[in-house]
Amino acid sequence: MKKWMVALVVACVLLVSTGATSFASDAPPIFNPPQHYYLALGDSLAFGYQAATFNQNFPVEPPTAFSTGYVDDYTSMLQDVRPQLQAINFGCTGETTVTFIQGGCIYTAQGFQLHNGYAGSQLSAAVAFLGQHPGQVSPITLNLGGNDLNALAAQCGSAVSCYQQQAPIVVAQIASNLNQILDALRKAAPGSEIITMTSYSTSFLLDPRFLQLAEAFNTVITTTAATYRVRVADVFTPFNQGPQPATICRLTLVCTSLQDGHPSDAGYQVIAEQLWAASGYHRQTQ
């Protein structure tokens, strides 16, 4: 591993372990069976992005072309419990925790359409939708944060001092932003089941120690979720704990010619299955 990545990993692990991003809650996550709407929030994973699909359709990019994402798979599972359930997918490719709050997702800025469009930020759109449909939205899923770390890498390149200075700030900002986001969602939907998810890593193919960065980031996910009675789907384990590189090559597209780190169709299905397992909705089918 390059020295700058070692510095990044150490900084992130220390920041989490010292409690700078730590939150606690004694209350258990909320269970609420599927209601009329399923609201999906997040970045390219929520959108269902795959680079090959994007290239095949460029420059038109109809949202319907991206129909094999985890939101699609999870919706099918939910409809087995509540057939009339409708999915609302606000996921925006390229979204960071900052743009989620403030607006400015790069995908829509480039003129591409979302599955369900909105004005302003994704957070404000979500809060508005929840306010317009009180008691009718459950579950709500959220995946965010990966693009924040990508922006750090783009900013720092191979400059060790940059990572040493910026990594703790970025990780702390992710935690702060997730805290703000989950607080707003929980206040807007006090009885809804909200499920976030851990992140997988493809960078370990370059060096196994990259897994430490994913684990530090995932600690931020789980600790912020705990405060707001939010469930956490374990995406990291099925992607990164199986035989490698066979598992990551099957569940993502990183081993293809495009070296796309987004999930394959099989990978998106696994994410949906992990959401189902975390939700507790199996109670409704017994």
pTM, whole model, 2 decimals?
A: 0.90
Q: Give Cα separations from 284 to 35, 79, 80, 234 (angstroms).
A: 12, 11, 9, 21
- Find the mean pLDDT for residues 13-26: 44
- What digits encode the pLDDT tens for the residues 153-198? 677 766 657 766 777 788 889 999 999 999 999 999 999 999 999 9
- The DSSP secondary-structure symbol of 231 reads E
For the stretch 105-157, pLDDT in tens is: 999 999 999 999 999 999 999 999 999 999 999 999 999 998 987 777 677 76
pLDDT for 85 beyond 80: yes
* pLDDT per residue as tens digits for the range 242-283: 899 999 999 999 999 999 999 999 999 999 999 999 998 977
pLDDT score, position 163 = 61
pLDDT digits (tens, 9 = 90+) for 190-244: 999 999 999 999 878 876 766 777 888 899 999 999 999 999 999 999 999 989 9
Mean pLDDT of the chain: 88
- 139 preceded by a cis bond (ω within 30 of 0): yes
Q: How far is CA 209 from the centre of its chain?
A: 22
Answer yes or no: is pLDDT of 86 > 50: yes
pLDDT of residue 16: 43
Residue 10: per-residue pLDDT: 45
CA triplet 228, 45, 141: central angle to 5 degrees?
Answer: 25
pLDDT at 7: 45
Reading the block at residue 132, the tokens are 């317009």
Contact 74, 38 (CB under 8 A): yes
pLDDT of amino acid 64: 97
pLDDT in tens, 89-98: 999 999 999 9
Give the model's pLDDT for residue 25.
55
- Give the residue, 10 or 78, on which the prediction is more confident: 78
Q: Which residues, listed in sequence order, are joined to residue 197 by a DSSP beta bridge?
A: 233
pLDDT over 90 at 50, yes or no: yes
